[in-house]
Amino acid sequence: MGDIIDFTGNRRDDADPDTTLLRLLGQLEGFVLVGYDKDGNELTAVTFGHLPEALWILERGKKSILERVDAEY
């Protein structure tokens, strides 16, 4: 059975999306971006022409997020 994480409600403030993107300008070889636009619509942008590679990097990103959460709790 998996571990249960007691979510306390503590969280970091959201980072500004425009500032984050500007900081990354010129540093990326490729990316998969998943988010919401200002109207709340889902948005996905992929620069990889080989979609299996895009899925691989997306899964690696999910793993990285999960590991950050594990480290905080």
pLDDT digits 0-9 by tens, 13-43 = 889 999 999 999 999 999 999 999 999 999 9
φ/ψ of residue 31, rounded to 5 = -160, 160
4: pLDDT strictly greater than 90: no
Distance CA 49, CA 30 (A): 10
The pLDDT assigned to 54 comes to 96
What tokens were used for 16?
A: 């500004």
47: pLDDT strictly greater than 90: yes
Please tell me the pTM assigned to this model: 0.70
Rounded mean pLDDT of 55-62? 96
